[in-house]
Structure 1
Amino acid sequence: MGWAIALHGGAGDIPVTLPPERRVPREATLRRCLDIGVAALQSKHSPLDVVELVVRELENCPHFNAGRGSVLTSDGTVEMEACIMDGKTKKCGAVSGLTTVVNPISLSRLVMEKTPHIYLAFDGAEAFAKEQGVETLDRSHFITSENIERLKQAKEANRVQLDYTLPTPKEQAKETIVADGDSQIGTVGCVAVDSDGNLATATSTGGFVNKMVGRIGDTPIIGAGTYANSLCAVSATGKGEAIMRATVARDVAALMEYKGLSLKEATAYVIEECAPKGTAGLVAVSAKGEVTMQFNTTGMFRACATEDGYSEMGIWPSV
């Protein structure tokens, strides 16, 4: 048994032709955030503190679809959501519909610790943020020129665009931000376990490009995109509706709890047999210090490390 950590930056149709200018900044951010998480675990910070810290860093990076980089709704607005969960106590907090909160993951932790509830959304969540004095910025801070262009292209194609959606032939004919499968940037998440087997998970996202106003995805749904108990911690990414239907995160824990499967067996079964192909990816750790990163999409931005010195970073399936 030892500590372990894993994080993701979204899954989907990520082609191997993804240009370096799109790939390298995301890889650099994942590497930096992994180092931050490892250092925190080595300094004996709790897994809950670690996953919040790492996801905050990912939210502050405009290269991913969370916090500052959140994509736009059909009305050209941002509606961010996040969730955090402690495995030992099963305490959790979730938020949706945020428009001004700089770090949604930290607000979700405040919901967990400062209210009798699990989930706050929209005006109620924004009011709670002001009450708690968390950092907020004008809505314009979250609306980037890149995401305005992404929304324009999505509207022209008359579709919503999920994590790393491949461009349509019409889009491929243009030299736009959506070229090379970069029509959407990815949901972020982190899972961690310490040397005592304490587990935690956190996930944050802006949803998907051109989503209907008011749409809520899998990220803040306990047991769908985010779940932790005494056996494992899971953070999922991909097509939210498919992940919700498959209750991806909870099913991993249930297979371990009721069937006695290992972490890798449980995650492999859920990703290969339960979630439709091309819809989901996840990172997970177990109380024993195991780590796995599974996906049934073309690729998933991911990174992990364990106390025994193992580390991995990748996008596409390992050869």
Structure 2
Amino acid sequence: MATTGCSKWAIAVHGGAGVDPNLPLERQGGGNAPPPCLAAGIAALQSGEPAVDAVELVVREMESDPFFNAGRGSVLTRNGTVEMEASIMDGNGRLCGAVSGVSTVKNPISLARLVMERSPHSYLAFQGAEEFARQQGVEIMDESYFITEANVSMLKLAKQANSILYDYKVPDTFGVSAVLMNGLPIAIYAPETVGCTAVDKYGRCAAATSTGGLMNKINGRIGDSPLIGSGTYACRDCAVSCTGEGEAIIRATLARDVAALMEYKGMGLKEAVDCAIKEKLDKGFAGLIAVSAKGEVAYGFNTSGMFRACADEDGFMEVAIWE
């Protein structure tokens, strides 16, 4: 049933949890200037577009930026191939769509939405997802489009270290020669999963998440990003998108947990986010962004930082990485 009445729009974007303290200055962000992806989402919400349209638009923008591990900048599997995954959820009716294992779809988030709206299913993967993409006429690219020189170099380093490069990067120290918990030098860090949550002026919430996964992952590995309730969730109360250690997020059903804390315990958005991050992750590392149907924005992370940006109808805006 469609939501009636008026609320206040709000939007939040993330570009990965866990940040190299030695990140080049031009990538450190901060300040009050909205990045292009956030500006696009703000414009959509200001013009009255549904939240689900706004989150798809924002994530498409980020999938086109090779800096992020989604779409164009997807990391590589152990075999040097691309296996992208994405999910989207419209809290207005709790509709959802997800894809995994796609290697030629320019914008996996848009394919996930087509799964939601034009298929009898909620989740398609690998060959089935690729066939559906061609049936729907989405833009297809040669796999080489997604394989960047930077990620080829990172895969080589990961293989040399016999390690998987996780979304989160938590150094033992903040020195230049610091070593990551997974054994890789901090200098080869790159931001990872992208996501967006939004609520429109009618109080409708939506969330979208997209990723290439883990560098040097085993072929066929599926993370939290395409799993509804783990990496992505939206309902009438809130919308959530997660980033970080996928296996920990899956175990915690982190995105749904935020909504459940609000629904069953009566927590406010910020309280629910803090509880989920601090008490539900066990030893895992992750971050998340969230909005509520009331137009609130919240985020939380237990990593060294999280790329994030948010704005609301009242004029609040933040672009930040660190706590």
* TM-score bracket for this pair, using the shorter chain length: over 0.9
Q: Unaligned 5+ residue runs, structure 1?
A: none
CA change 1:277–1:311 in 2 (3 A) is: farther
TM-superposed deviation, 1:23: 3.4
Q: What is the letter of the counterpart of residue 113 of structure 1?
A: E
The residue correspondences of 1:174-189 to structure 2 (distance < 5 A) are 180-189=186-195
Q: Match of 1:52? A: 56
CA distance in 2, matches of 1:155, 1:48: 39
Which residue does the alignment assign to 1:37?
41
Asked if 1:103 corresponds to 2:111, the answer is: no
Q: CA deviation at 1:136?
A: 0.6
Matched to 1:15, the amino acid is: D
The change in CA–CA distance for 1:254 and 1:173 in structure 2 (over 3 A counts) is closer
Of the candidates 267, 285, 297, which is equivalent to residue 279 of structure 1? 285
Q: Match of 1:128? A: 132
Mapped contact 1:161–1:184 kept (Cα < 8 A): no
Deviations 1:204-240 (A, max 9, x none): 0000100000000000111000000000000000000
- The aligned counterpart of 1:162 is 166
Correspondent of 2:226 among 220, 236, 246? 220
Q: Is the 8 A contact 2:20 2:189 kept in 1?
A: no
Is the 8 Å Cα contact of residues 31 and 318 (structure 2) preserved in structure 1?
Answer: no
Contact preservation (8 Å) 1:162, 1:184 = no
Q: 1:290 aligns with which of 293, 296, 315?
A: 296
Aligned to 2:24: 19
Task: For 1:225 and 1:75, locate their aligned partners in 2 and report how far apart those are by CA, in whole Å.
Answer: 25
- Give 1:150's match in structure 2, choosing from 154, 159, 167: 154
* TM-score under structure 2 length normalisation: 0.91
Q: CA deviation at 1:163?
A: 1.6
Farther off after superposition, 267-276 or 97-106: 267-276
Contact 2:67 2:190 in 1 (8 A): no
Relative to structure 1, is the Cα distance of residues 241 and 28 closer, same or farther in structure 2, using a 3 angstrom cutoff?
farther
Instruction: Report the Cα distance in structure 1 between the residues aligned to 2:13 and 2:59, rounded to whole angstroms.
Output: 9
Runs of 4+ in 1 over 3 A off after TM superposition: 21-24, 26-30, 166-169, 171-174, 178-182
Matched residue type, 1:19: P
Residue equivalent to 2:209: 203
Q: Which protein has the bigger helix share?
A: 1
Query: Is it true that 1:113 corresponds to 2:122 in the alignment?
Result: no
Structure 1 residue 72 corresponds to structure 2 residue 69: no
Unaligned 5+ residue runs, structure 2?
1-6
